[in-house]
Structure 1
Amino acid sequence: MVLSKLRHANAASKLGADEKNDLATGLQATLGASLAGLRPLNGGTLGIIFSGTLDGCERCFKTHAVPSGQVTLRREHAFLQQISNNRTDASLFSVAERDSQRTWLQMNLLSSCNDLTPATIRRLVFDYEAKLPGKIGFALVPAEDNIHLLLDKSEQSLALLSDHDLISAGVASKARHRLTHLRAISGEFILQLCHGDLGPANILCDDFGPVAIDWEDAFWGIAGYDYLYWLTFFSNRRWLTPDSVGHTPWGRPAEVALMVMILLLKCMLSVRDGSYLGNKISFDQRLMEVIALD
């Protein structure tokens, strides 16, 4: 799940226009005439992003919105080098800033993808899972950033939603049953590095197909987690069919329980930032669409 949002909600939005302009000015001054057409792009929770043409090549430039973002920026660079550097050409550089140095990540500017299918996402996840490091990854991602933490948080989310009557008693009972099942089998989980936020905005394309970017939420999950996470996005609801589950080592009941866990966390985050007030469907409906797959 999106650990950065659980820890740093709205951090990026706290940077004002003047501060972003200062970042752009510093970047332009550092790269000089070789950089042209610098313009802002939508950033993530911890990142501020620009695009521009560097030495004739379209590039993306990303820096941190909060101090902790510097660590995740270096983490993202390490992941990109590990799984897709022949396509992203990612590198880090520093810009002098008062009494410190600001870290920037630059990479090839990729494009939005055309309609992605579950089969395409499964191939993407399978391919990068095979390239991710094992225990050496603890140097990149703390051991405590793991799926057990997300399960704890999802149980808290369920309690919050129930206490505020944001889900019905019947749906709460069904969701609790799935979390109980997940808790019962969690001792069998073999932890591995996962992207953690594999949504439509974090999958871009080049001439060779999709590339997973923005690894700031990487954590110790389990095989297939990222694919199930992708299925929980509102824009992917049409793919919530029996054919879309049963493709991980964990089996349909566990997959449904994992998606319920993810949705509960997303529901809680939307309550925290107030965005749930504009929801097109209720939390009950969202949860039952997934529960019905079991």
Structure 2
Amino acid sequence: MLSKLEFFESHSAPPPTTAEQIALLDAVVRHYNEAGKKVSATPHEGGTLGVCLSADIDGERRFLKSHLPGAQAHANLAKESEMLGALYGATVVTDRLSLRMDDGSVRLCLVLAELSPRDRPMDGAEAAALAHGLAAKLGGRDRWRLKASETFEHYLLKAEDAIAALADLQMVSATTARELSRTIGSLGSSLPSLRRTMCHGDFGPRNVMTEGATNVVIDWEDAFWGVAGYDYLYWLTFFENRHLLNSPDREPTELMAEDERGILALIVLLKSYLSIRSGTHRSHSLSIDERLAEILGQ
């Protein structure tokens, strides 16, 4: 989520994905032709900041994922590649290309197995177990080269900016803004006592694919050093899972109720701030204040 937020904080327009896809396609065809391989490729929707192609390489179907220009975008994709390798070996990322672009720059491009969407939604128990298993496999912070911005502490700092921005835009009431500040401030005070884990950062239904009967979680660019339970709570904030938020059958986390509430408020706050920056809030069925008030229990 934060990579998207950082992009829209510094850009007034959506990323030029179509132009980047055309440039990537040219570079991919050139790379494989020079290697004596036959390739055909077409642009593919790959998320907000991904530059993606569907490809046939010597008769094998593959999904190619590259990035927008810039060192940080390159680093984010490299991190995703490392994490997919740690989780799934060579079964998902089958190759990494350094592509020479027409402007002389070099782009990282991941060659991925062609995965399939799930044939049914995950239930809460499956989502919680999957998130827990991923964190256990990824291990501790020292294994990964993380920046200061790739930590839960940075999320708490961004929350202050988000509350101020939404209040200035009158997207949240004064009551909601005060309760957000109190709830997230309380979460910050609890942070030293919470168990820390690696978190995916965008653990949503669209990022859970399958290879055969195996779940494969993709799009690790926003992975960060977070708090145990964060990814499952993030999954709960998607509209199709909203009915589980206050359900007695919801899977528990190891967090105290007030800390769960704080994390849920933090997630929905930052999602709302991103929607304002990107302009997607106009299509939402609930106002930002209504959505946050629901999380806060007002």
Name the TM-score, length of structure 2 as normaliser.
Answer: 0.88
Secondary structure of the 2:271 match is: helix
1:175 deviation in Å? 2.5
Secondary structure of the 1:196 match is: coil
State the distance in 2 between where 1:217 and 1:102 align.
19
RMSD between aligned residues: 2.4
Equivalent residue for 1:116, pick from 114, 117, 122: 122
1:244 deviation in Å? 6.0
Whether contact under 8 Å (1:111, 1:204) holds in the other structure is yes
CA-to-aligned-CA distance 1:152-172 (integer Å, 9 cap, x gap): 211221222223321223333
State the distance in 2 between where 1:80 and 1:11 align.
32
State the distance in 2 between where 1:211 and 1:222 align.
21
Whether contact under 8 Å (2:17, 2:51) holds in the other structure is no
2:7 is matched with 8
1:212 is matched with 217
Secondary structure of the 1:250 match is: coil
Matches within 5 A, 1:134-153: 134-139=140-145, 141-153=146-158
State the distance in 2 between where 1:255 and 1:81 align.
31
Structure 1 residue runs without a partner (length 5+) = none
- Taking a change above 3 Å as real, the CA distance of residues 79 and 282 of structure 1, as seen in their structure-2 partners, is same
Is residue 288 of structure 1 aligned with residue 289 of structure 2? no
- Taking a change above 3 Å as real, the CA distance of residues 71 and 88 of structure 1, as seen in their structure-2 partners, is same
Whether contact under 8 Å (1:70, 1:103) holds in the other structure is yes
1:172 is matched with 177
Whether contact under 8 Å (1:61, 1:105) holds in the other structure is yes
- Taking a change above 3 Å as real, the CA distance of residues 16 and 192 of structure 1, as seen in their structure-2 partners, is closer
2:29 is matched with 28
State the distance in 2 between where 1:16 and 1:144 align.
25
State the distance in 2 between where 1:256 and 1:20 align.
40
Equivalent residue for 2:83, pick from 76, 79, 84: 79
Matches within 5 A, 1:225-236: 225-236=230-241
State the distance in 1 between where 2:115 and 2:251 align.
31
Is residue 69 of structure 1 aligned with residue 81 of structure 2? no
Name the TM-score, length of structure 1 as normaliser.
Answer: 0.89
State the distance in 1 between where 2:17 and 2:184 align.
40
State the distance in 2 between where 1:11 and 1:87 align.
38
Equivalent residue for 2:63, pick from 44, 48, 60: 60
Secondary structure of the 1:91 match is: strand
Whether contact under 8 Å (1:12, 1:46) holds in the other structure is no
1:128 is matched with 134
- Taking a change above 3 Å as real, the CA distance of residues 143 and 17 of structure 1, as seen in their structure-2 partners, is closer
CA-to-aligned-CA distance 1:105-134 (integer Å, 9 cap, x gap): 111111112212121111211111111032
Whether contact under 8 Å (2:17, 2:49) holds in the other structure is no
State the distance in 2 between where 1:11 and 1:29 align.
33
CA-to-aligned-CA distance 1:232-252 (integer Å, 9 cap, x gap): 122322222333656222122
The residue type paired with residue 239 of structure 2 is: F
State the distance in 2 between where 1:56 and 1:225 align.
41
The residue type paired with residue 167 of structure 1 is: V
CA-to-aligned-CA distance 1:199-252 (integer Å, 9 cap, x gap): 222211222232111111011101111111111122322222333656222122
After superposing the two structures, state which structure 1 stretch, 14-23 or 214-223, moved more. Answer: 14-23
1:263 is matched with 268
- Taking a change above 3 Å as real, the CA distance of residues 199 and 83 of structure 1, as seen in their structure-2 partners, is same
1:12 deviation in Å? 9.5
State the distance in 2 between where 1:270 and 1:34 align.
42
- Taking a change above 3 Å as real, the CA distance of residues 244 and 46 of structure 1, as seen in their structure-2 partners, is farther
- Taking a change above 3 Å as real, the CA distance of residues 19 and 221 of structure 1, as seen in their structure-2 partners, is closer
2:200 is matched with 195
State the distance in 1 between where 2:238 and 2:58 align.
37
- Taking a change above 3 Å as real, the CA distance of residues 237 and 50 of structure 1, as seen in their structure-2 partners, is same
The residue type paired with residue 133 of structure 2 is: D
State the distance in 1 between where 2:108 and 2:166 align.
39
Aligned length: 291
Whether contact under 8 Å (2:199, 2:230) holds in the other structure is yes
1:97 deviation in Å? 2.8
Identity between Structure 1 and Structure 2 (%): 32
Whether contact under 8 Å (1:77, 1:91) holds in the other structure is no
Matches within 5 A, 1:237-276: 237-243=242-248, 247-276=252-281
Whether contact under 8 Å (1:246, 1:252) holds in the other structure is no
Whether contact under 8 Å (1:245, 1:252) holds in the other structure is no
